[in-house]
Chains A and B, each alone.
Chain A
């Protein structure tokens, strides 16, 4: 586990050495800020509901951008060989990189805490859904990051990694919005597979173990897939 911590620190600071972190965070803040505040005053409600409503869609292309280089670059440069011949295990590497993603997502969400603070000065804000929303955002970010890591472990090309991860994340997000195409017997299963469905529950402030289990299982499957695909390469 100590090794995972070192890898985590290296990857996390690596984000801020290259311009990628600043670009991704700036894009994220501009997009969410703009979409949220263009309608915020029309609704005339002191709630962050619309902000959290945006997150699944925005996360599905922002998070793949965060994760795309984590394995692809190592495969491309060959630095993976140096990393793996040091006393580390696959698990250390994957956990370290995954934790770096989560930390990055938290760093990215941190500036948006200004929104609820600002809004609470304008009206009475119910903090329950806000806390739930942020918790849900981190869980969903983690699930998407695991998917992104898996996509990144498949290829040495970062662009392909990005596209594959975006495709998977978008499908997960949109699946419960496409339900009217599906036969009735599949509805329950498909709705359960959708990220939006689970995220909505949490962002209403309802923390249900089913939703938490969903995000944990997506993350686990993603990381396990990444583990398998890296092991199979060598």
Chain B
């Protein structure tokens, strides 16, 4: 559906996006994830033909952004960050204006706008000036704007930024709903959001792709090493290090806290189920008292931090 190759963008001497390439399949919900200033917005702006790439190519359904800009714009719906709308227009007038520019037929226009308003929860504010709307409602107007032409590809830049938790859940539901039929590219710096809505995640940092995969596979990758926290009473630090360290599958043993008669130990071991069996069996064979035994879950959070903070 979308094919991006060696895409770069320079702002003066700053390289915002650096040689990124990826493909987006039809019907996919892709999350672009990265810290602030990683180049997410720039990438999306190039994808929507707002910015011209310094180098590299973008093809959408075999149309190139250099030659078929208008055709590509027709396929896409775009919600920029913080939904910059005309302040003094009334929501209804605004949507009518967008419908006209988007080429929605006059006969079906009103019905179409009504449907969209219902989907985005705008029915109650249709006759208010955009300026008077709360952030959440503005975001919804922006979403209605983006979906006006029933786009095949929906590009959403931080669609839930600045919303309250209830609104976030609602917007996510809307995205999920639309995502069943459409290709969606969204950017966010909130991991749980990417986890909750996306099929596939691309993590970018400093303009480069640092990870690319389905939500599951990224998590799987994170699970390669498991961190096991164990608390023991009546054990000696040295003994524990020796005995647990020699269990097959355990890679490292660190004593986190050593109070008299009480030990907190962190074990780094492989993800095999049997390793944990063996660790337990090892502890059971001694006269130590086991008071805690829990897995530290490595979430996307951890991968994200590892990938974006190194260097």
Contact = CB atoms under 8 A, between A and B. Distances in A.
A14 interface: yes
Nearest to A2: B103
Contact of B45 (A3, A81, A88): A81
A234 B51 contact: yes
Most buried by B among A7, A17, A82, A84: A82
Contacts of A120: none
Given A14-B89, A234-B50, A234-B52, A87 B103 contact: yes
A89 B68 CA distance: 12
Interface string B80-100: 101011111100000001101
A14 B93 CA distance: 11
Interface stretch (B25-33, B71-79, B268-276, B299-307): B71-79
Interface residues of B, number: 27
B101 interface: yes
A77 B87 contact: yes
B101 A3 contact: yes
A6 B100 contact: yes
A82 B145 contact: yes
Contacts of B142: 82
B89 A85 contact: no
B84 A17 contact: no
A177 interface: no
Interface string B14-57: 00000000000000000000000000000001001111100000
Contacts of A10: 97
A33 interface: no
B109 interface: no
Contacts of B189: none
A14 B73 contact: no
B135 interface: no
Among B52, B73, B85, B86, max chain A CB count under 10 A is at B86
Nearest to A80: B84
Contacts of A85: 48-50, 73, 76, 78, 80
Nearest to A234: B51
Interface in A1-20: 3, 6-7, 10, 14, 17-18
A86 B98 contact: yes
A123 interface: no
A78 B78 CA distance: 13
A39 to B, nearest CB: 40
Contacts of B97: 6, 10
Nearest to A84: B50
B166 to A, nearest CB: 26
A79 interface: yes
A87 B74 contact: yes
Contact of B85 (A3, A79, A86, A89): A79
A81 B84 contact: yes
A14 B84 CA distance: 17
Nearest to B155: A85
Contacts of A77: 84-87
Interface in B90-124: 97-98, 100-103
A71 to B, nearest CB: 13
A81 B145 CA distance: 12
A87 B52 contact: no
A87 B151 CA distance: 12
A86 B50 CA distance: 9
A89 B70 contact: yes
B52 A79 contact: no
B85 A82 contact: yes
Contacts of A86: 73, 98, 101-102
Nearest to B70: A87
19 contacts: A6-B101, A14-B89, A77-B86, A78-B80, A78-B82, A79-B85, A80-B84, A82-B80, A82-B85, A84-B50, A85-B76, A86-B73, A86-B101, A86-B102, A87-B70, A87-B74, A89-B70, A234-B50, A234-B51
A-B pairs with lowest CB-CB distance, top 8: A78-B84, A87-B73, A85-B78, A85-B48, A6-B100, A79-B84, A87-B74, A81-B80
Interface of B: 45, 48-52, 70, 73-74, 76, 78, 80, 82, 84-89, 97-98, 100-103, 142, 145
